Amino acid sequence: MSGFHTPDDGLDRFRFRLGFAAAVVLAAFTLLIGRFIWLQVVQHDFYRTRAEDNRIALIPIVPNRGVITDRNGVVLARNYSAFTLEITPSQLGQTLEETIDALAEIIDIQPKDRKRFKRLLDEAKNFESIPIRTRLSDSEVARFAAQRYRFPGVEVKARLFRQYPLGNVASHALGYIGRITERDLKWIEENEQSANYKGTDHAGKTGLEQHYEFELHGQTGYEQVEIDAGGRALRSLKRIPPVSGNNLQLTLDAKLQEITEKAFGDRKGSLVAIEPETGGVLALVSNPTFDPNLFVDGITPDNWKELNEHPDKPMINRAINGAYPPGSTFKPFMALAALELGKRTPSQAIADPGYFNFGNHQFRDDKKGGHGMVDMYKSVVHSCDTYYYILANDMGIEAISAFMGQIGFGAKTGIDLGKDDSGESRGVLPSPAWKKQRFKKPEQQKWYSGETISIGIGQGYNAYTPMQLAQATATLANNGVMFRPHLVRHIVDARNGDKRAVEPKPIRDLGWKQKNLDVIHRAMAGVNTEGTGARAFAGAQYVAGGKTGTAQVFSLKGAQYKEHSVKKELRDHALYIAYAPIDKPKIALAVLVENGGFGAQSAAPIARMVLDYYLLGKLPQGAANEDAAAVEADE
Amino acid sequence: MIDLVGTLRRGWLNATAHIDFPLLFIVLGIMGIGIATVNSATIDTSHRMLAQTGNMCIALVVMWLVSRVPPQKLMRFAVPLYVIGVLLLIAVFLFGIKVNGSRRWLSIGITRIQPSEIMKIAMPLMLAWYFQKYEATLKFRHYLVAAGLLLVPFALVAKQPDLGTALLIGSAGFYVIFFAGLPWKVIIGLAAAGVSAAPFLWTMLHDYQKKRILTLLDPTTDPLGSGYHIIQSTIAIGSGGVFGKGYLSGTQTHLEFIPEKHTDFIFAVYSEEWGLLGNVVLVTLYTLLIGRGLMIASAASTLFARLLAGAITLGFFTYAFINMGMVSGILPVVGVPLPFMSYGGTALVTLFLAIGILMSINTHRMLVKK
C-alpha cells in the first residue's frame, strides 16, 4: 500500500509539521529574547556608556599662551586676535574643492594656503574647523560676511596668534613657536601633557618658548557638546573655561638688548651680559638674528631656506651653541688660579724674552722682544703670553682643569633655553681624561705636557661658549659666588598675579680669598686704564674691569699674523670680557665677534657701548666702530 | 428606522464577512507600534507618519478585497503570476537597471518595478497550486519538479545580486515543499550537504556578502564601514535597557547614529525607546500572528489552502526573525524589512495582501463545509 496516501494521512502529517514549525518559531523567538536580555540587561551598562560616548564630544578650548615681558615690563611675546577663515568639512554644502574655489573668488587664497589647509585636514578630526586663511583684512571679512549664505560650514573666527612685537630683537632668547610635530607630541607625552594639548596646535620650538612651554601653555578648557552622527554640534551641555598660561617676566633688558644687537651691526658674534648678584641675564645676543614672527603661521619654504642656508647661519644661537677658544680672556682666571693654589704671588715676576722654550718647541709672545720684567698685574694688563706659558707649565693640566671646571668651564650652564638643556653646548675643558674620551687612537689619547702650555693663554683645545665665559666673568665679579645664568626672573600666575622666582639661590660659593680677588680686580681695571682696553674705555665715567682676547681660527704655523692678508672667514675671533662698576659690579659680560680680529679692535668697543648705556643711560649712535688703531695695541 | 438599522447591520455583516478579527487586531496592534515608531524615526527629518498611515489604509483595502476572493479563484492566478514573474526576472537579468552594483529594477516607461517583489507571493502560490494538482498521485519526482520551480527564480534573484530577497523567495517555496511532505531524510540529507558545501558556497559569494558575514562575526574589524550598522544598532538596543529611554528620547535615533532607521533598522529605534519590555510585547504580537496563521492553515479545507497559509505564515516569521536577528547582531545584514513596522508602501501592500489571503482561506472554509 505504499505510495498511496489517504487525505487524512496527509492532514495528520501536515498538522505534525505545523507543530514542528511552531516549535521552531518559538525556539527562534526565545533565542531573540535571550539576545535582547544579553544586550539590554547584562550588557546594558556597557552599551549605555557607548551611547553616551557617541553623542557627547569634548571640544577643547585652547588657553591663551602666557605673555613674555622684559625686566621693565616691555612686551616681547604676546597674543593678538585676528580673523581667520575656517572650514568645517563635515558641514559643507558642496565638495571641499568647490568650496575653496568659490571662496578664492572673494578672498585671496594662495596655493600655499591650500597646501597648509590640506596638511591640517589630514591631522584633524572631522568636526573641527580648520583655517584656510589667517589674518583676514577688515575688507575681506566684510566681503565674506556679505556672501556668507553661500557657504554653509565656512565661518570667520577670531583666533589668537603669537606675536613678537620687537621682531628680531632677542629672537635667540625668545625662540619661537611652531606647529606641533611628531617629535613635539612625544615630548608632550613624556611630560604627561597629552590630554592638555588636545586642540593645541602650536608649541615652543626653541629658546624660552620651548623651555617654559608647559608654564606658558596654560590649562585647556573644554566644552561638552551633544553631537549627531555627522559630527555636527547641536547644543552645549557643559563648559569648563580654560586657564591662561603663566606669564614670564625676564631678567633681560629689552632696550639693552636692542642697543647691543645694533652695536654688532652686520658682524657675526655674541654677547652675554649677566647681573653678577643674581645670575640674571641682562642681554643675550647672537648675531645675525631672525624674525620669530615668520614661524608663527608656519614658515614658508622660501623663508626657511633663506634662514637655514645663509652662510652666516642666523638660526644658530652662538651664545650657547658656539664654542670658541677664549684666548687671553682666560688669563685673569689663570692668574686667580695661580694665587688660590699658591703657585704665584702677585709680585713674583718673570723676565720675558718674547718666547718660552719647551723641549724643542718655541712658544712665542705676540710682542717681539718681550715685555721685560712681568709681574701678575702687568701680565694681565698687557696680556703677556710668556707669563702664562710658564704658569701653565708650573701648574699642570690637572690643576688648571680642576680650577676652571669649578667656574663652569666645560659644563652646561643650565640656562633656561630650549628643551631641558639639550640645546646648549658643553664646550671643551681640556684635560687628560677629556682627551682619552675624545680620541680613539691610543697615541692621540695621551696628554702631552707641551699641550698644557698653550692652554694657559686660552688656546689649544680650549673651547667655551660665550655663556660660559659670561658666567665665569660674573662669578669673578661677584667674588666667587656663582649663579646659574637664567633669563626668567619670575613666573607670574595669570590668574592671581602670584610671582614665583626662578633662581633664588646661588649654586655655589667658590670660597676665593678676597685679597686674591682684589689683585685680579685691580689688574682688570688696569686693562681699561693703561692696558689693551684703554683706547676703548678712554673717558669712561666708571671703573670697569676688562680683558681683551683673540681666538685663533687659523693656525699660522709660525708666520707673522697680518690681518689684511688673511681672508675674512679666517680672521681671528675677537673677545672681550668686562664687568662694572668694579667695586660693586652691576653687570658682567662676555663679547665675541667672529673674525673680528683683535679683541680690543672690535669686541671692546661693543662692550663700552653696552656699559655706557646700562650704567649711564647713554644711547649710542648706530653700530660700534672698529678701532683700527687698536690693532697695534698689545694682545 | 428599523429597516435602516437592519440594512446597515446587513451591510456591515456583509462587508466584514471575510474579515478574521483576531488576525486583524493582532496586525493592527503591530501596525500601531510601527506607525508610532516611524514617527519617532522621522520626526527630525522627513515626517513619514501620515504617509505610512496612508499606506496602511490602502493596504487595508487591498486586504479587504483579497479576503473576499475565494481560494479556488486565487488558484487561477498561480500559474500566470509565476510565469510573468519569471519572465520579468529574465528581463531584469538582460535589461535591468543597475543601482549600487546590483541589477534589481526594470524600467517600464514611467516607472521602475522590482519583479522579485512579485515572486514573494507568486512562489508559494505556484507551488501550492502544483501540489494541489498532483495531490492524489504525489511521487518523489514531483518534489524534484517543485525544487526546479523554486530554484529558477531563486537563482535569478540571487544573481542580481539580492541575497536577502532570494532567501525569502526560496524559503517561501521551501515551506510549501516541506508542508507538502518532503521526507525527513531528504531534508536532513540536504542540510548535511549544505553544511559540507559551505566552503564551496563561500567562494561563490560576492565580496560584499562575504564582508557582511565576516563583519557579523566581529563588527569591530570595520567600525566605520560595514560594521557601523551593526555596532550602532546594538548600541541602541543595549542602551535601551529594560524600560527604554522613552518615546522620542532615543539618542542613537535622534542624533542620526542609526542608519536606515525608518526602514530596515526600525527595530533599533523601537528597542532603544521601549527597552526589553517593548521587545517582549512586539515578539509576543508576532508569535500571536504566527500562531493565528498556523491555526488557519491547520483548519484549511484544501491542500492548496493549507500549504499557502502555512507558507505565508512562516514567511512572516522569516521576515521578523531575520530582521530582528540582523538588527540585534546575531544574523548578517541582509536587506529585509520588519513586517508591519518598516516604512514602505509596496512592502506593506504585499504584507496585507498575504493577510487577505489568510483571511480568505479562513472565512471561505466555512462556506465550503456548508
pLDDT at B369: 45
Residue A465 lies in a domain: yes
pLDDT at A129: 72
- Grid cell locating A482: 656663582
How do beta strands A508-509 and A280-287 pair?
A: unpaired
pLDDT at A97: 85
- Amino acid symbol at A283: A
Q: Which distant-in-sequence residues (6+ apart) come within 8 Å of B151 by Cβ?
A: none
* Residue ranges of chain B with per-residue pLDDT less than 50: 368-370
Q: Which distant-in-sequence residues (6+ apart) come within 8 Å of A6 by Cβ?
A: none
pLDDT at B370: 38
A364, pLDDT greater than 60:
yes
Buried b / exposed e along A286-316 (16+ C-beta atoms within 10 A): bbbbbbbbbbbbbbeeeeeeebeeeeeebbe
Query: Which tens digit of pLDDT belongs to each residue from A236-258?
Result: 888 888 899 999 999 999 999 99
Cα dihedral A111, A116, A119, A120 in deg (nearest 10): -140
CB-nearest to A47 from B239, B242, B287 is: B239
Query: Which tens digit of pLDDT belongs to each residue from A397-439?
Result: 999 999 999 999 999 998 999 887 677 899 999 999 999 988 8
DSSP code string of B215-271: HHH-GGGSTTTTHHHHHHHHHHHHHHTTT-S-TT--HHHHTT-STTTTTTTHHHHHH
CB contact under 8 Å between B279 and A36, yes or no, is yes
Residue A285 lies in a domain: yes
CB contact under 8 Å between B306 and A14, yes or no, is yes
CB-nearest to A29 from B138, B275, B283 is: B283
Would you tell me how many other CB atoms lie within 10 Å of the CB of residue A109? Answer: 17
The answer on A152 and A258 residing in a single domain is no
Residue A249 lies in a domain: no
Query: Which tens digit of pLDDT belongs to each residue from A573-590?
Result: 899 999 989 999 999 999
Query: Which tens digit of pLDDT belongs to each residue from A438-480?
Result: 888 888 888 988 899 999 999 989 999 999 999 999 999 999 9
Residue with cell 494538482: B133
Residues A580/A544, Cβ–Cβ less than 8 Å = yes
Rounded distance between C-alpha atoms, residue A415 and residue A525, angstroms: 28
- Amino acid symbol at B53: T
- Grid cell locating A110: 594662495
pLDDT at B294: 96
pLDDT at A428: 92
Bigger pLDDT: A382 vs A566: A382
A229, pLDDT greater than 80:
no
Buried b / exposed e along B217-247 (16+ C-beta atoms within 10 A): eebeeeeeebbbbbbbbbbbbbbbbeebbee
Span A345-353, average pLDDT: 91
- Grid cell locating A462: 680650549
For residue B64, give the H/E element and its range.
helix B49-67
Rounded distance between C-alpha atoms, residue A367 and residue A361, angstroms: 18
The answer on A459 and A333 residing in a single domain is yes
Which of A109, A127, A162 is the C-terminal boundary of a domain?
A: A162
Which of A162, A179, A204 is the C-terminal boundary of a domain?
A: A162
Chain B neighbors of A43, CB-CB under 8 A: 238
pLDDT at A2: 42
Span A106-118, average pLDDT: 83
The answer on A444 and A581 residing in a single domain is yes
- Residue A199's Cβ-side half-sphere holds a number of Cα atoms within 13 Å equal to 20
pLDDT at A124: 59
Cα–Cα distances in angstroms (integers) from residue B242 to residues A37, B246, B265, B272, B326, in the given order: 8, 11, 19, 10, 20
What share of chain A in percent tops pLDDT 90? 47
Chain A neighbors of B328, CB-CB under 8 A: 32, 35-36, 39
**CATH number for the domain including A390?**
3.40.710.10
DSSP code string of A309-364: H-TT-TTS-HHHH--B--GGGGHHHHHHHHHHTTS--TT--EEE-SEEEETTEEEE
CB contact under 8 Å between B237 and A55, yes or no, is no
Residue A69 lies in a domain: no
pLDDT at B170: 93
CA angle (B171, B174, B179) in 5-degree steps: 125
Span A582-611, average pLDDT: 89
3-state secondary structure of A223: strand
Annotated catalytic residue within A244, A270, A328, A401: A328
Residue to mutate among A29, A37, A38, with most B CBs inside 10 A, is A29
Strand locations in A114-254 (E): 130-133, 154-163, 177-179, 202-204, 221-227, 233-240, 247-250
pLDDT at A110: 86
- Grid cell locating A29: 523567538
Chain A neighbors of B286, CB-CB under 8 A: 29
Q: A158 forms bridges with which residues in the sheet?
A: A83
Name the residue of chain B whose CA is nearest to A41's CA.
B241
Interface size, chain A vs chain B, as Cβ–Cβ contacts under 8 Å = 126
pLDDT at A588: 96
> Which pTM was predicted?
0.66
A4, pLDDT greater than 60:
no
A496, pLDDT greater than 90:
no
pLDDT at A565: 56
- Amino acid symbol at B208: Y
CB-nearest to A47 from B238, B257, B276 is: B238
- Grid cell locating A220: 585647556
Question: Is A565 an active-site residue?
Answer: no
Q: What is the value of ipTM here, to two decimals?
A: 0.93
Span A531-550, average pLDDT: 90
pLDDT at B368: 47
Q: Of A38-42, A113-117, A184-188, A326-330, which gets the smallest average pLDDT? A: A113-117
pLDDT at B222: 58
pLDDT at A632: 42
3-state per-residue secondary structure call for A135-171 = CCCHHHHHHHHHCHHHCCCEEEEEEEEEECCCCCCCH
CB contact under 8 Å between B276 and A228, yes or no, is no
- Candidates A635, A620, A606; CA nearest to A272 is A606
Rounded distance between C-alpha atoms, residue A548 and residue A527, angstroms: 8
Which of A162, A193, A218 is the C-terminal boundary of a domain?
A: A162
A560, pLDDT greater than 60:
no
- Candidates A374, A273, A195; CA nearest to A576 is A273
Mean of pLDDT over chain A? 86
Would you tell me how many other CB atoms lie within 10 Å of the CB of residue A527? Answer: 30
Name the residue of chain A whose CA is nearest to B175's CA.
A21
Q: Of A230-239, A265-274, A287-296, B54-63, which gets the smallest average pLDDT? A: A230-239
pLDDT tier at A66, thresholds 50, 70, 90: very high
A556, pLDDT greater than 60:
no
- Grid cell locating A235: 547644543
Does the beta carbon of B224 lie under 8 angstroms from any beta carbon of chain A? no
Chain B, 29 to 88: residues with Cβ < 8 Å from chain A are none
CB-nearest to A40 from B238, B287, B310 is: B238
Span A52-62, average pLDDT: 81
A45, pLDDT greater than 80:
yes
CB contact under 8 Å between B298 and A15, yes or no, is yes
pLDDT at B366: 54
Query: Which tens digit of pLDDT belongs to each residue from A169-222?
Result: 999 999 999 878 888 888 888 888 888 888 787 899 999 999 999 999 998 888
Chain B neighbors of A15, CB-CB under 8 A: 298
Residues A277/A478, Cβ–Cβ less than 8 Å = yes
Chain B, 262 to 321: residues with Cβ < 8 Å from chain A are 271, 275-276, 279-280, 283, 286-287, 290-291, 294, 297-298, 303, 306, 310, 314, 317, 321
Number of domains making up chain A: 2
pLDDT at A33: 96
**Containing domain of residue A99, as a range?**
82-162
pLDDT at A596: 80
pLDDT tier at A497, thresholds 50, 70, 90: confident
What share of chain A in percent tops pLDDT 70? 93
- Residue ranges per domain, chain B? 22-369
Chain B, 250 to 269: residues with Cβ < 8 Å from chain A are 251-252, 255-257
Query: Which tens digit of pLDDT belongs to each residue from A368-394?
Result: 888 889 999 999 999 999 999 999 999
